[in-house]
Amino acid sequence: MTIQNSDTGDADVIKRRAADRSGMPGRRRGIQGWLDGIRSTRTGALTLKIVVGVIGTVMVVGGLIMVPFPGPGWLVVFAGLAVLATEFHWAHKVLEFGKRVLHAWTEWYKRQGWTVRIIVLAVTLAAAGVIVYLGLRTVGFDVIRFALSYVHT
């Protein structure tokens, strides 16, 4: 047995040889390996669940608040579910369900003719317009009154 120049003497060599003889898979690398290292203790696993739960929940709630407004609301909801799915099985199931529904909607929409596509676009734009109008009204800005003030002058 040769001893490598190491602070731990031949312990590194012995551990490496034992790992090579073992039938167990090697430790994962990258983010998964890092997460596995955290999960290796009860405290680390609980802390990771809490941190992931808080971050994922904030993302999902924030995304749901953004959904009625133009922007990336649903994208943030799905990203939050993806974060939660790293630690919670139920979130993984919800995420998979959401992906299936989105895929089914997209496939249905692709099969439709131009008339249905234009109607869906018009309804989407009208809903977004009403939501933006009501959102601005809640902060005290009436877009219609503002526009009419320019028409009547």
- Tens digit of pLDDT for each residue in 61-82? 999 988 877 778 889 999 999 9
User: What does the DSSP assignment read for 37-94?
Assistant: HHHTSHHHHHHHHHHHHHHHHHHHHHHHHHTTSSSSHHHHHHHHHHHHHTT-HHHHHH
pLDDT higher than threshold 90 for residue 115: yes
In a domain, 20, yes or no: no
Mean per-residue pLDDT, 93-102: 93
In a domain, 60, yes or no: yes
User: Token pair of 2, please?
Assistant: 């040769």
In a domain, 34, yes or no: no
In a domain, 124, yes or no: yes
Confidence band for 44, pLDDT divided at 50, 70 and 90: confident
Confidence band for 28, pLDDT divided at 50, 70 and 90: low
pLDDT higher than threshold 80 for residue 138: yes
pLDDT higher than threshold 80 for residue 122: yes
pTM over 0.85: no
Domain extent for 118: 43-151
Burial of 81 (0-12, 13-18, 19+ CB in 10 A): buried
Burial of 77 (0-12, 13-18, 19+ CB in 10 A): buried
In a domain, 111, yes or no: yes
Domain total for the chain? 1
- Mean model confidence pLDDT for the chain: 83
Residue 13: per-residue pLDDT: 66
